[in-house]
């Protein structure tokens, strides 16, 4: 595999700094701005699109290309050319051509994710997300005409394990609302074990989950049933 192909494989995917944000909050540290991005191939190069936790676009989509640069790789965007050198199982930035504007600078990329330095926001550690596909079902408040329990359901819900969210809204006259959230939690210290966690949030509870379940971080499936709703998520291979 060429250096360009190796770096491209590391860059493609969805990345967020959900864990950095959460552990700064839990540790009573200065707040960290949440950030997410999707890097995808497009028109012979690549694009970087900022996204929120629901996968909605944030800000402009930016195009860039990768080119061979001796034994290293150059990341090219407009007049800016940044040199990326191999380091361990990833790459790091090693200078530019002097025509790069300030903003977000990709400092490192590896199998676990990327490290960005953003003007005015410091360093963001964005971890690589795994994609999941989920279904959810919610018992309606009123039974059907024949007296049987009636359900609202939805399939093909896209979620990812780095703070990805999906809103569920039933089709009742007064809708019930839930939000599914998923994290692949790795505690920076202490006895807790890494876990794949599926949360259920409600408008009334805000960011405090009304329920959550967990599984081994390498699990391909995780589900939850709290009677007022149930859901199951499977890894997209």
Which of 128, 157, 182 is the last residue in one of the domains? Answer: 128
Q: How far apart are the C-alpha atoms of 3 and 16, rounded to whole Å?
A: 25
Phi and psi torsions of 101, nearest 5°: -75, 165
Do 218 and 164 share a structural domain?
A: yes
Which of 128, 150, 171 is the last residue in one of the domains? Answer: 128
* 179-205 tens-digit pLDDT: 999 999 988 777 889 999 999 999 999
DSSP 143: -
Do 26 and 118 share a structural domain?
A: yes
Do 119 and 19 share a structural domain?
A: yes
Do 159 and 122 share a structural domain?
A: no
Do 193 and 139 share a structural domain?
A: yes
Do 107 and 26 share a structural domain?
A: yes
Burial of 27 (0-12, 13-18, 19+ CB in 10 A): exposed
Query: Mean pLDDT in the chain?
Result: 93
CB 199 within 8 A of CB 183: yes
In which domain, by residue range, is 178 found?
131-235
CA distances from 114 to 38, 64, 109 (A): 12, 16, 4
Which of 85, 113, 128 is the last residue in one of the domains? Answer: 128
pLDDT of res. 189:
77
Do 158 and 219 share a structural domain?
A: yes
* 73-105 tens-digit pLDDT: 999 999 999 999 999 999 999 988 989 886 788
> Total structural domains in the chain?
2
Mean predicted confidence (pLDDT) in 156-175: 97
Do 101 and 55 share a structural domain?
A: yes
What's the pTM? 0.92
Q: Which two tokens stand for residue 145?
A: 């005409």
Do 35 and 83 share a structural domain?
A: yes
Q: How far apart are the C-alpha atoms of 38 and 194, rounded to whole Å?
A: 24
């Amino acid at each position: 595999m060429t250096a360009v192909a190796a770096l491209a494989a590391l860059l493609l995917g969805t990345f967020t700094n959900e864990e950095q944000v959460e552990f700064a909050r839990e540790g009573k540290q200065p707040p960290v701005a949440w950030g997410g991005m999707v890097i995808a191939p497009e028109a012979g190069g690549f694009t970087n699109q900022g996204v929120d936790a629901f996968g909605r676009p944030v800000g402009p989509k930016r195009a860039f290309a990768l080119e061979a640069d001796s034994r290293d790789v150059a990341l090219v965007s407009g007049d800016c050319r940044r040199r990326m050198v191999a380091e361990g199982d990833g790459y790091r930035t090693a200078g530019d051509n002097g025509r790069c504007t300030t903003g977000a600078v990709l400092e490192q990329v590896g199998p676990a994710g990327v490290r960005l330095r953003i003007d005015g926001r410091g360093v963001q550690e964005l971890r690589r997300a795994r994609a999941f596909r989920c279904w959810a079902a919610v018992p309606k408040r009123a039974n059907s005409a024949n007296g049987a329990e009636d359900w609202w359901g939805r399939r093909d819900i896209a979620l990812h394990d780095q703070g990805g969210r999906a809103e569920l809204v039933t089709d009742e006259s007064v809708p019930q609302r839930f939000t599914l959230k998923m994290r692949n939690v790795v505690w920076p210290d202490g006895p807790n074990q890494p876990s794949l966690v599926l949360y259920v949030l409600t408008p009334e509870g805000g960011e405090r989950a009304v329920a959550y379940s967990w599984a081994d971080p390498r699990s391909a499936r995780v589900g939850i049933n709290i009677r007022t709703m149930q859901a199951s998520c499977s890894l997209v291979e």
